[in-house]
Amino acid sequence: MGAKTFEEIGGPAARRHLFLCTGPDCCAPGQGLATWEHLKASLKEHAIPALRTKAACLRMCHDGPWLVVYPDGVWYAQVTPERFDRIRREHLEGGTPVAEWVRAVNPLVK
């Protein structure tokens, strides 16, 4: 891991911050970690300007892995690696959330 600066983690360029819960209660840890590893690789491969954080629990311990995208405030349920690919294309790159997988929307700045 190691200590990094805000610049080194891509903070100044970030347009979004993604939080992914990897279980163990909302999904099997292996399932959550598979999505997490895919998410990290996909953001890097496609040069998506987003910060990412692996969350231990987002307090809705069912139907995971949960992905929350800020500042949009979009909550996605059951995010598999395959689903993340579509979320990346349509939401993170295209700007339109994948409505069929959205469970809640609450931008925190109103």
The residue from 28, 34, 51, 57 that contacts ligand FES (CB under 6 A) is 57
Our finding on whether 50 is near ligand FES (CB under 6 A) is no
Our finding on whether 34 is near ligand FES (CB under 6 A) is no
The whole-angstrom separation of Cα 75 and Cα 38 is 18
Among residues 51, 71, 88, the alpha carbon closest in space to that of 79 is found at: 88
- Least CB distance to ligand FES at residue 66 (A): 5
- Least CB distance to ligand FES at residue 90 (A): 23
SS3 of 79, please?
coil
Our finding on whether 58 is near ligand FES (CB under 6 A) is yes
Residue partners of 93: CB distance under 8 A and separation at least 6 = 46, 48
